[in-house]
A and B are shown apart, each in its own frame.
Chain A
Amino acid sequence: MKRFDIVTLESPNRAAFRIEGFLFGDENSKGPSVAIVGAMSGDHINQLYVASGLVEYLRIKEEEGNIIGRILVIPAVNAYAINMGEKNWPLDKTDLNMMFPGYALGETTQRITSRLFETLKGYDYGIILEGRRDQGMCLPYVKLIQSGYEDLECVKDLGLGFIHYRPHDPIETAMLQYNWQLWETKAFSIVFGKNGAIDQSTSNEVHTAIVRFLSKREMLDTPVFEGRKSNIVDPNRITILKASRAGILISKVQCGAHVQKGETLGKIIDALSGQKLEKIVSPCEGIVTCQYAHPLIFQNSIIFRIASVEHCCHIDSAKSTSD
């Protein structure tokens, strides 16, 4: 294992900012390569945890002689923010994952992402561990945006249940996944967890999925269990349940629950009077893929997202349709 600084930047008063990388396998290997990027926001603690867990796992595997490709893990991109409970770059509040591909002569965060991106270029695969941008928590899913260079085939080797495969938003052209794809790395994101927290079960699932991917893509020589047959989901066709009222949210189900039409999923109570304002009832049968995870909820916020079978398709059938 080689531990090294990818980016260092002096601060006016703090200790220097550093982005550290952990490289496994032969640096000059002609075999397949992957870079795994962890916490880009200060509240992506679950992503930090999974990435650092991978570092320890791969260290042991390397000692056993089982690394056959080249694997770079970057557990924390924005350590400055993590260390002070901020989400974004602490001085100007810019989101580092909105500054790609960066600019070497530009603003501070453009320089940081430019230097980072120089290191990330050239890898065969790119895995971005992403948190959510809202107050939700979700089942782990693959987010694959359509840049024209994406690779739908490789992501099924993760064996995760759901793949969100969709056109990119304008705002995503400044994000790592889009730019990495343009530079011909097969890049995708795994979105999971709840910001600011660690969920052990979810972390294990993501860890296992990445190990499976590394094994199937011949970067790691280790036996793995087969994963799930992934379902492609159009995020716009997931059933959304919104809060008609604001207050305290009491949820009766967890992400991953298979719910029936008419089933009570929770309630919203008035935060002052305690009066029940809304009973939340599922309008369809499906799997809860995402739920609002803060106890206080705003009116119109999305409480649950439910994937129904009729709105999903397996990769194979999707391929045959597009073929």
Chain B
Amino acid sequence: MGLIEEVLTIELPVGENFRIQRCRYVPKKGEPTKRISVVSGIHGDELEGQYVCFLLGQWLREHPEAIKGTIDIYPAINSLGIDSITRSVPFYDVDLNRTFPGSKNDFLPAQIADGVVDVMRGSDFAIDIHSSNVFLREIPQVRIAKSQEEILVPLANLLNIDFVWVHDAVTVLESTFAHAMNTIGTKTLVVEMGVGMRLGEAYGHQLLDGLLNLMAHEGILDIAPLDVRFPIQSHVGEVAYLNAACPGLFVPAIDHCQIIKQGSVVGHIVSALSGEVLDEVIAPIGGILFTIRAYPIVYEGSLLGRIFGENNEAI
């Protein structure tokens, strides 16, 4: 059984404390090899990571003899948000994942960010689990800034995910947890999977296998590496974005994670008022539909989906 600790507490105005809890697992004998932090709930409306934390905790309780490193599980960073269906930090309405590395001399969200970095400082690895948001459904993927490609892609390939997306980072991403931790030497992967406010049981088990595999490779668990899938690598193809051409109600025509052909119909934007079909959404390239819109109301520009197509391959 892991040791449950409150690692950050801040008094709230009326008889309550804001708190971040951690469950720590250490070897029964000997010094820990390495340390990993599994993190969820920086956004209060993303719950897939909570389930992964549960599955990992359950596995570790059943296999204490396999633990050779320090394994820290943080299911709920924005605990106020998670318990109230609120993506941002309540009261301040600020996105915590745009507040890192934070500061002790700034407002509450920045103090939380500063506290989170302090608590996890010294971890060799961190896995930051997100669920996109309430608008989009994603296949399990890791997103990596190009500057970190060499260090992080080999690690991401161990995680039993479907897609590794290396992107040109915009400067604003320097305000994220992952950037803050990578900057201080903790190899940090951002996992996106599923959709906000919901759990996907299969995805949870898929990532659990990936975490166990990564920890086996790094000597944190004394188990044989698992037989995991090798993810599609973004550098072998291109990502096409589907944005709404007009406002309305988006009705998908195909399921998430399908292989589709160029020119096929992804969905329709319709008018609830007039009964008209306003637009037919067509796939600009063939490939895998790795993102699809889950929340149907759209404005012009709303993201409807993303397709990854491999270069020089007719699908």
Contacts and interface: CB of A to CB of B under 8 A. Distances in A.
A136 B248 CA distance: 39
Interface in B289-305: 297-303
A166 B273 CA distance: 51
A59 B273 CA distance: 41
Contact of A301 (B14, B94, B107): B107
B243 A107 contact: yes
Interface in B226-260: 243, 246-249
A47 to B, nearest CB: 17
A223 interface: no
Interface in A104-155: 105-111, 133-136
Q: Interface size class for chain A?
A: 35 or more
Interface stretch (B33-41, B57-65, B166-174): B166-174
Given A91-B297, A272-B15, A105 B94 contact: no
B13 A298 contact: yes
Interface stretch (A7-15, A226-234, A312-320): A7-15
A49 to B, nearest CB: 21
B12 A298 contact: yes
A300 interface: yes
Nearest to B10: A299
Contacts of B247: 9-12
A173 B104 CA distance: 22
Given A88-B93, A91-B299, A107-B303, A298 B175 contact: no
B174 A133 contact: no
B11 A98 contact: no
Nearest to B273: A13
Contacts of A11: 247, 299
A125 to B, nearest CB: 25
A247 interface: yes
Interface in A285-315: 296-302
Contacts of A156: none
A12 B105 contact: no
A299 to B, nearest CB: 4
Nearest to B115: A300
Contacts of B87: 93
B13 A246 contact: yes
A211 to B, nearest CB: 32
B107 A10 contact: no
Given A12-B247, A174-B172, A133 B107 contact: yes
Contacts of A174: 170-172
B243 to A, nearest CB: 7
Interface residues of B, number: 42
Contact of A106 (B18, B133, B243): B243
A246 B303 contact: no
A170 B172 contact: yes
Given A10-B246, A92-B135, A111-B301, A171 B172 contact: yes
B11 A299 contact: yes
Contacts of A248: 13
Greatest chain A CB density within 10 A among B104, B247, B249, B298 is at B247
B299 A108 contact: yes
Nearest to A114: B301
B288 interface: no
B205 interface: no
Contacts of B18: 298
Interface string B76-117: 000000000001100111100010000011111001000000
A98 B172 CA distance: 9
A135 B107 CA distance: 8
Contacts of A133: 92, 94, 107
Nearest to B172: A174
Interface in B185-202: none
A299 B13 CA distance: 8
A105 B94 CA distance: 26
Interface in A262-302: 271-272, 296-302
A107 B301 contact: yes
Interface in A227-254: 240, 242, 245-248
A301 B89 CA distance: 14
B179 to A, nearest CB: 8
A12 B299 contact: yes
Interface centre among B107, B246, B303 (most CB of A within 10 A): B107
Nearest to B104: A300
Contacts of B93: 87-88
Contacts of A12: 247-249, 272, 297-299
A300 B243 contact: no
Interface in B256-276: 272-273
Contacts of A173: 170-172
A247 B91 CA distance: 15
A217 B293 CA distance: 50
Given A12-B247, A93-B87, A174-B170, A245 B301 contact: no
A10 B300 contact: yes
Interface string B2-27: 00000000111111001000000000
Contacts of A301: 107-108
Interface string B109-139: 0010000000000000000000001010000
10 contacts: A12-B298, A106-B301, A107-B243, A134-B92, A170-B173, A171-B174, A246-B13, A300-B108, A301-B108, A302-B105
Given A92-B133, A111-B301, 14 more contacts: A9-B247, A9-B299, A10-B246, A13-B273, A87-B93, A98-B172, A106-B301, A107-B303, A108-B299, A108-B302, A133-B94, A298-B13, A299-B12, A300-B111
